[in-house]
Amino acid sequence: MAKIAKKLTDTEIKSTKPAEKEVNLFDGDGLLLRIAPLAKGGKKNWYFRYAVPVTKKRTKVSLGTYPHLTLAKARALRDEYLSLLANGIDPQVHNTQKANALKDATEHTFQAVAKKWLDEKVKTSGISQDHANDIWRSLERNIFPTLGDTLIKEIRPKMLKQHLDPIEKRGVLETLRRIISRLNEIFRYAATEELIEFNPADNLAQRFSKPKKQNMPALPPSELPRFLMVLNNASVRMETRLLIEWQLLTWVRPGEAVRARWTDIDIETGMWNIPAEFMKMKKPHKVPLSKEALRVLESMKAISGHREWVFPSIKAPLNHMHEQTANAAIIRMGFGGELVAHGMRSIARTAAEESGKFRTDVLEAALAHSKKDEIIAAYNRAEYLAERVALMQWWSDYVQAQKFKIIAA
């Protein structure tokens, strides 16, 4: 007749003290309490011993420590594990799967993975925090409401297509193109992290209409007097008006204009040394400052001379203005569809080219357009600097002349 194991009691467990050697107390059906030797602290640990399904190899799994895990709870766990074994399931494999599922539900949702992707992108690609915030807001508007809490490994191509169809129907094809591009980046990141086995956004762009390529809206130079007149009379903050003038006079991009720092500007030599981290092409860029550009700085000095940024944010002065500030003002001035802030570079380039006074390469250098050959590009930047000093002053005088046309009219 099989020997029936004596069931443990709380009294027996509490009264059994640690000894010089390990002590085991058995409750039956694989449950035991192991009391460590005195020399090792005498801790009481619950274990469940069992035979692994299929292989029948004997093993054990730790359940917890007594009294944190009571006798009743230890027995309940043992009974749960016996039930799993009766169905051919290894309790340790089951626990691992449960832990992975919980991790998936919290760390591997689409939104959680997108956050990790964007954090890494900021570090490795050098994009500005403003740009990163814009990307995140776009995902919040267009993706997260329906897919944010979905496990990334459960997202399929058809699911993405159905989700993006309404965006295509709205006719915002350029927005759709950017969203698909970001989805591809996120899923490629997930694949390299071994969270998914394939990219469900691959070839997704081919399923939708392509946006028509459009140049940045820009006025012809002949319309510059009208723009300057409206700018002069517009109901915009002085700092915003000066930012627009600064960008117009320096030929830089909107994101570069708002990141002007006092420490990067040498007033005496009239040179603005833009660090590589602030440039689109990630290469340092020098901008010779005309008399009018220096006048803009003089006007801003009383406002922001004690701060890091020449054009600080109105609401958060420790940060610079948003790179869309000038664009928003230009739209409010009534030039929506006619001109964007980036288009002011086109006005300057066209006017300078039509003057016939400057070589094309000098204009390209002033616009910080990159060349494929790095050695030639570095040589040209140095060679053209003197010509760019003349170019910037010529352009400043040109802009002033357009202002005088307004007065004369």
The residues assigned a catalytic role are 253, 280, 342, 345, 369, 379
First-last CA distance in the chain = 118
**DSSP state letter for 178:** H
> Which amino acid would we find at residue 51?
A
Written as one string, the DSSP assignment of 370-408 is --S-HHHHHHHHHHTHHHHHHHHHHHHHHHHHHHHHHHH
The answer to whether the CB of 29 falls within 8 A of the CB of 42 is: no
- Residue 6: helix, strand or coil by DSSP? coil
CA distance 362 to 390: 10
CA distance 11 to 80: 25
The answer to whether the CB of 358 falls within 8 A of the CB of 391 is: yes
- Residue 340: helix, strand or coil by DSSP? coil
Residues in the chain: 409
CA distance 372 to 375: 9
